[in-house]
């Protein structure tokens, strides 16, 4: 399998569009399409759904993503063993639609001269392992660790506390509410994307359910974002949860189809994101990145009642 094709696949995933990948790689959109077609031919499976909003990974695409990232990481590891400082700054995020990705994009806009690679590792354990081995330079994600164990040579800074919001169709009985409380949601079924690949996401919702007696169900991993929206759009009782900084269901096309974000209060569940990096990594680009994103640290106002999981401290 051609590694340039694999890089192109990852660029399409990162940008969400074939045209975006073409701009990033300085090639034509036709060339991007040919490279993706070549991978799909090699794998015998379709990797993307395409529509007016861009692209979404198919089940096969989601399965291939970790392997594609590992292929590129293995090559970069070989290169960096010779000259580590010669490769781009490599940042891990938990999802390409979340606040971590937004912070990286903001950094790129301000410091366009810095070459940055974005990767999406399996979970916080994989991120810690990659930091220790030097495969990545930093990670922006929620971090779940069993007990108090955390590598002493890694630095950790809490960056963003993302509010969870209720996302419903217009027919949902709570769609017209100005706000809801977690106790209001205990009688309603809430669907969220499969959490199996993300340890911290699974642990977060387990603790949220136990604390507020909420009925949160993980949908099948083959059930993509579009299918989830189709499921809730006309339902008077089904809903999902979305981060306030997430790009999920924010496009004009989605809004025009009739979805509503309802704030959750008293308490407001917060999904904590931290920046993690190796204390021994001496890269000016990393120092620049840390100084750029650190001021975005979000603290909860004293007058607001919030909830965070026990492992977020």
The band of 79, judged by pLDDT with boundaries at 50, 70 and 90, is low
Residue 3 CA to residue 304 CA, distance in Å, equals: 49
Each residue of 166-199: pLDDT tens digit? Answer: 999 888 989 999 999 999 998 888 988 765 446 6
Structure tokens at 83: 């000259």
What burial class does residue 2 get, using C-beta atoms within 10 Å of its C-beta: 0-12 exposed, 13-18 middle, 19+ buried? Answer: exposed
* pLDDT mean over 285-312: 75
CATH fourth-level superfamily of 162-269: Periplasmic binding protein-like II (3.40.190.10)
Main-chain dihedrals φ then ψ at residue 179, nearest 5 degrees: -165, 165
Residue 8 CA to residue 248 CA, distance in Å, equals: 23
Structure tokens at 305: 């009642």
Q: What is the CA radius of gyration of the chain?
A: 20
Q: What is the pLDDT of residue 296?
A: 46
What burial class does residue 252 get, using C-beta atoms within 10 Å of its C-beta: 0-12 exposed, 13-18 middle, 19+ buried? Answer: exposed
Q: What is the pLDDT of residue 194?
A: 66
* pLDDT mean over 16-25: 86
Each residue of 205-253: pLDDT tens digit? Answer: 889 999 999 988 887 656 667 777 788 888 898 999 988 877 665 555 4
Q: What is the pLDDT of residue 177?
A: 93
Q: What is the pLDDT of residue 88?
A: 86
Angle, alpha carbons 155-156-157 (nearest 5°) = 130
Q: What percent of the chain shows pLDDT beyond 90?
A: 22
Q: Cis omega before residue 214 (within 30°)? A: no
The mean pLDDT of the chain is 82
């Amino acid at each position: 399998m051609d590694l340039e094709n694999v890089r192109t696949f990852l660029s399409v995933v990162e940008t969400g569009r074939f045209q975006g990948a073409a701009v990033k790689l300085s090639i034509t959109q036709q060339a991007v399409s040919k490279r993706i077609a070549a991978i799909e031919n090699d794998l015998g499976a379709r990797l993307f759904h395409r529509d007016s909003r861009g692209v979404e990974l198919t089940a096969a695409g989601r399965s291939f993503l970790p392997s594609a990232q590992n292929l590129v990481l293995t090559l970069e590891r070989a290169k960096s063993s010779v000259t580590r400082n010669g490769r781009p700054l490599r940042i891990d995020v938990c999802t390409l639609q979340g606040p971590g990705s937004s912070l990286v994009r903001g950094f790129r806009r301000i410091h366009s001269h810095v070459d940055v690679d974005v990767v999406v590792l399996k979970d916080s354990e994989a991120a810690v392992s990659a930091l220790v081995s030097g495969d990545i330079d930093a990670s922006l994600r929620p971090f779940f660790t069993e007990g108090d164990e955390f590598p002493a040579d890694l630095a950790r800074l809490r960056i963003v506390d993302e509010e969870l919001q209720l996302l419903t169709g217009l027919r949902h009985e709570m769609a017209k509410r100005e706000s809801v409380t977690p106790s209001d949601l205990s009688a309603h079924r809430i669907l969220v994307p499969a959490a199996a690949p993300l340890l911290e996401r699974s642990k977060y919702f387990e603790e949220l359910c136990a604390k507020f007696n909420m009925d949160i169900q993980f949908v099948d991993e083959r059930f993509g974002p579009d299918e989830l929206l189709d499921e809730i759009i006309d339902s008077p009782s089904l809903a999902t949860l979305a981060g306030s900084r997430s790009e999920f269901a924010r496009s004009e096309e989605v809004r025009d189809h009739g979805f509503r974000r309802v704030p959750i209060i008293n308490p407001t569940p917060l999904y904590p994101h931290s920046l993690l990096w190796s204390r021994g990594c001496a890269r000016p680009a990393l120092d620049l990145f840390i100084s750029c994103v650190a001021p975005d640290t979000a603290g909860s106002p004293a007058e607001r009642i919030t909830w965070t999981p026990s492992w977020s401290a």
